[in-house]
């Protein structure tokens, strides 16, 4: 299955990784590993995670207050957000049509 990132999701991921790395060396790497783990889980069983809107689902990261929001498809996993839990809950929905 192919993984595709929306540009906004990729920017959120890199921004969060840089923030964690700046605050504690090595923590940015741990954040990236947590994101990789969440995406790997979604790839193994895309429909196993909670539906949050329409067909969009999310995987909660271990150790970090973030979720990876994705849209499962037949042969693609579209990552639409790397979402911090303190943000407005529906703010990511404006980027999908």
How does pLDDT run across 72-93, given as a tens digit for each residue?
A: 998 999 999 998 988 766 666 6
Residues in the chain: 97
Residue 89 pLDDT: 61
Residue 83 pLDDT: 87
Question: Could you tell me whether strands 76-84 and 56-60 are parallel, antiparallel, or unpaired per DSSP bridges?
Answer: unpaired
Of 2, 59, 8, 9, the C-alpha closest to 34 is 59
Q: Which two tokens stand for residue 14?
A: 């890199």
Write down the pTM of the prediction.
0.87
| Cα-Cα-Cα-Cα dihedral sign, residues 38, 77, 69, 82 | positive
Residue 85 pLDDT: 84
């Amino acid at each position: 299955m192919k993984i595709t990132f929306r540009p906004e999701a990729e920017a959120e991921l890199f921004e969060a990784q840089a923030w964690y790395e700046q605050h504690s060396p090595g923590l940015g790497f741990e954040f990236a590993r947590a994101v990789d783990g969440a995406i790997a889980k979604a790839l193994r069983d895309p429909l196993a995670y909670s539906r949050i809107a329409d067909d969009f689902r999310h995987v909660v990261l271990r150790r970090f207050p973030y979720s990876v929001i994705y849209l499962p498809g037949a042969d693609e996993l579209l990552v639409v957000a790397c979402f911090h839990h303190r943000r407005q809950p529906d703010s990511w929905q404006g980027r999908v049509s």
